[in-house]
Structure 1
């Protein structure tokens, strides 16, 4: 498993998953590789995410409030970031965290009139992150290219969906990264021309989490049926997903911009109990 440079990593969640596997005697030594350039989602990102979302009132974006957007914003801003490589030098990281926290507290006080955060407990957490994660941190771009040169097969897995792509999705109701197939090269350091085949994964119906346009949405008993039969509740948040009919227009668009060669259509059985199925085309 390779976590590449484009991923923003919540170290608390990752370490929980590593520990859970360890309890089952599954080791990740020489099996998990984390990019030294991947950015860390820290506590102040989650706080900022929640404060920003609450301040929007009825115009909320529907974020999961896990700090992803603020982390990507810091990445683009460049000045106040923590990357995996920073865990290698805790002395420098301590000073960096103090600078970042001082900056964040000014924003929190001026914009949201909220209590300040402290850098000390955050640094202690980062020390524990270093203990757990340093063995897995490496140059994943070099690792991937060496693997390709050695003739190994590689499966790149995207996150979320095409219409949540920052540049090509239903902006502003999108995520903070390029989640379509177009994000693969920059997100991994491997050129698209090295990929033999792009496989699109789609459901036999449409779902959406949070706000945003949804032409085929069924905010009724049909939508609830799909939600329950398909277990359409957020994996991490438990939030019920919005459900509706298959949108062939949206899927066609996704196929076009990601140069999809074939589609794996999921959840056909979820619709088996419905007498009538509709498709938007």
Structure 2
């Protein structure tokens, strides 16, 4: 059966910590990435690779909807090999249907952002968007295409099409890219699998599968704050599609959320605090993007955004005398909105309605029992559960994997 871990805000919620905890229980046979690219921010060696590689008993799959960067793949494998991770190369598999993420895409990504000017998306500039764009326009190249006689011709055509669009601004060497892939061609072959057959067998054998969702719901290409989103489906549906999972194979869906809100890059952020509160959240929370190195924007928890949650990271709020959560948006005519609008222009007209809570102003770092949490913290969690309608099963109380209250 499958357990899926999803982000419920704009990413960086601490999904990696929960993933590490679940993997440490030895309860999963397989760990899989369903979508995204080498822009995940779990840790230094896991931008592309599934986190299950840390557990020598877990097999790992990079699923068909992932855009696959060969350089990042072997770089991260090399880092893990240097750390002595056992049976590394026999436990990682790459879907033959993954679309390739080239250096060309990264070059185009940077130019696309420059053209947007003040309306930049704030991408990682790793070419994720252009890779998915080529996939959707049906002129992308997949892992399996690397072994086709048409590979060189198609990559040259792709480069030429971008050259026509950007001219001399495009700093890219197609000959170097072709030589790079010629060197990787046989090196990559042992890792490639038919992921459809792989997952069918896993489901037939009733293997336990942990799915690492990428980014978060509010960055979903369909349901996020479009156009300030990533280029893949980061929701439950994206995980099912990206791994050819049967919905009947699902056991748990765990949504992860911070007890406050952060995001990197452009786009609307109704509860953002451009003041001392925001700075304090950045400093205490160590809010620097793992993938980007950028300082994250910070604000209060938004329960309009947060439709469901099963994991809360609490300790950053320990020193605040008052803690706020957004529970509605107020329109210019005074009516309340409790759903996130599709038209982002509406957000500029709304005021945020907050509910205030007394802070606990004592350290919760390392607490592992619900009863040991301050009453004010318990009240805060209980309110979130009541508002969202889902139990909070995991509460992070520090950066270490063991620092967690488990109520499941």
TM-score normalised by L of structure 1: 0.90
Aligned to 1:213: 268
Q: Kindly tell me: are residues 115 and 150 of structure 1, through their superposed partners in 2, closer, same or farther at Cα, counting changes over 3 Å?
A: closer
Q: 1:279 to 1:115 in 2, by over 3 A?
A: closer
Residue 179 of structure 1: how far off its partner (Å): 0.7
Following TM superposition, by how much is the alpha carbon of 1:10 offset from its aligned partner in structure 2, in angstroms? 2.1
Partner residue, 2:254: 199
1:184·1:192 contact (CA, 8 Å) conserved in 2?
A: no
Separation in 2, partners of 1:73, 1:135: 28
Q: In the alignment, is residue 264 of structure 1 matched against residue 311 of structure 2?
A: yes
Residue 60 of structure 1, CA deviation = 1.3
Partner Cα separation in structure 2 for residue 271 and residue 135 of structure 1: 47
Q: Structure 1 residues 115 and 154, CA, compared in 2 at 3 Å: closer, same or farther?
A: closer
Give the deviation of 1:116 after TM superposition: 6.1
For 1:161 and 1:241, the matched residues in 2 are separated by 15
Residue 303 of structure 2 aligns with which residue? 248
Structure 1 residue 174: deviation in Å? 0.8
Identify which of 138, 141, 155 aligns with 1:78: 138
Counterpart of 1:259 in structure 2 is: none
Which residue, out of 15, 21, 25, partners 2:84? Answer: 25
1:90-148 residue CA offsets vs partner (Å, 9 max, x unmatched)? x4322222222222211221xxx525633211111112332432211111121112112
- Report the equivalent of 2:192: 137
Greater strand percent: which structure? 2
**Equivalent residue for 1:92, pick from 123, 134, 150:** 150
Contact 1:36–1:137 (CA under 8 A) maintained in structure 2? yes
Provide structure 2 residue ranges, at least 5 long, that are not aligned to the other structure.
1-59, 328-408
Q: Which structure has the highest helix share of the two?
A: 1
SS in 2 for 1:198: strand
Q: Quick one: which of 326, 331, 342 aligns to 1:280?
A: 326
Relative to structure 1, the CA distance from residue 265 to residue 127 in structure 2 (aligned partners, 3 Å threshold; closer, same or farther) is same
Counterpart mapping for 1:1-281 below 5 A: 1-26=60-85, 27-79=87-139, 81-89=140-148, 91-109=149-167, 113-115=168-170, 117-252=172-307, 255=308, 263-266=310-313, 268-281=314-327
Distance 1:273 1:115 in 2: 49
Which residue pairs with 1:258 in the alignment?
none
- Alpha-carbon distance in 2 for matches of 1:194, 1:131: 35
TM-superposed deviation, 1:215: 0.9
Instruction: Give aligned pairs, total.
Output: 267
**Greater RCO (Cα-Cα under 8 Å, separation 6 or more):** 2
Corresponding residue SS for 1:250? coil
Q: How far apart are the structure 1 equivalents of 2:284 and 2:195?
A: 39
Please give the alpha-carbon distance, in whole angstroms, between the structure 2 residues aligned to 1:245 and 1:213: 14
Give the number of the structure whose alpha-carbon radius of gyration is greater: 2
Residues 248/121 of structure 1: CA separation in 2 closer, same or farther (3 Å cut): same
Structure 2: how far apart are the matches of 1:222 and 1:9?
Answer: 39
Give the match's secondary structure for 2:310.
strand
Contact 2:303/2:325 (8 A) holds in 1 = yes
Q: Once structures 1 and 2 are overlaid, which stretch shifts more, 141-150 or 164-173?
A: 141-150
> What TM-score do the two structures reach when normalised by structure 2?
0.63
Q: Secondary structure at the match of 1:245?
A: strand
- SS of aligned partner of 1:63: coil
SS in 1 for 2:94: strand
